[in-house]
Amino acid sequence: MKAERTYRISDWPEDERPRERLLKYGADTLADAELLAILLRTGNRESTAVDLARQLLRRAGGLRGLDRQSPADLAEERGIGPAKAALIKAALEIGKRIVQQSWNSRDRIRSSEEAYRYIHLRLRDLSREEFRVLFLTGRNELIGEKVLFTGSLHQSVVSPREIILHSLQNTAASIILFHNHPSGDPSPSAEDRLITQKICTACRYCDISVLDHIIVGKDTYFSFADQGLMPDSSAD
């Protein structure tokens, strides 16, 4: 009689088990699938946790692909379910927060590149447009950020009043506008230019300086300030 195949990582030699290797050699020595397998803990009847992790990464196109999927989408995968989907999304979110927490409160934003590096993990892989505002002091020190709009960006949903209100609540002297293009191309549309003009004009009368409007694409960005497209905030 043919022996039944085992799909348990606990049956592997100790030096091949992801968790034991992480503890002995460090997390940076593990492949993406092995790190994901530690979160999954178990596989299913046909696959170990490592096999299941490889399948997930292959179908999603890597860790960034997993990040783009909703918890509900992940939970539909055989062997995942809501609990494991929640673990995956939580781990990805922790990674983003670690990056952002490297920017301490009152750190200065000195360029569009620094602003992009602060925000890009939040926006680059979204399947929908999202509009965020970064609040700064008069010395360009970071105060905080807020998501103000989600969905297709057009003038009727972008309210300068909301932007001004939140800027005043955060005692911000200046702001930077952000939104993403799910297509991956950060080139500004005519609508993007109109929205920028509208917000800058409104903020000018409240002594709030709009430093830049940055559009995030796939691993790249467009800066209105760098391209000389920001309306002159000193104009009457």
Window from 25-29, 84-88, 148-152, 186-190 with minimum mean pLDDT? 148-152
Closest residue by Cα to residue 230 from 203, 181, 150: 203
Ranges assigned E (strand) in the chain: 130-136, 142-150, 174-180, 209-216, 221-223
pLDDT at 102: 67
CATH architecture of 9-100: Orthogonal Bundle (1.10)
pLDDT at 105: 53
Q: Model pTM?
A: 0.75
Sign of CA pseudo-dihedral 138, 144, 148, 153: positive
> Model confidence at 1, in pLDDT bands (50, 70, 90)?
very low
For range 104-120, the mean pLDDT: 85
Q: Where are the domains of the chain?
A: 9-100, 105-223
Tens of pLDDT, residue by residue over 84-108, are 999 999 999 898 888 777 666 557 8
pLDDT at 151 over 50: yes
105-223 to CATH, choices 3.30.9.10, 3.10.129.10, 3.40.50.2300, 3.40.140.10:
3.40.140.10
Tens of pLDDT, residue by residue over 217-226, are 999 999 999 9
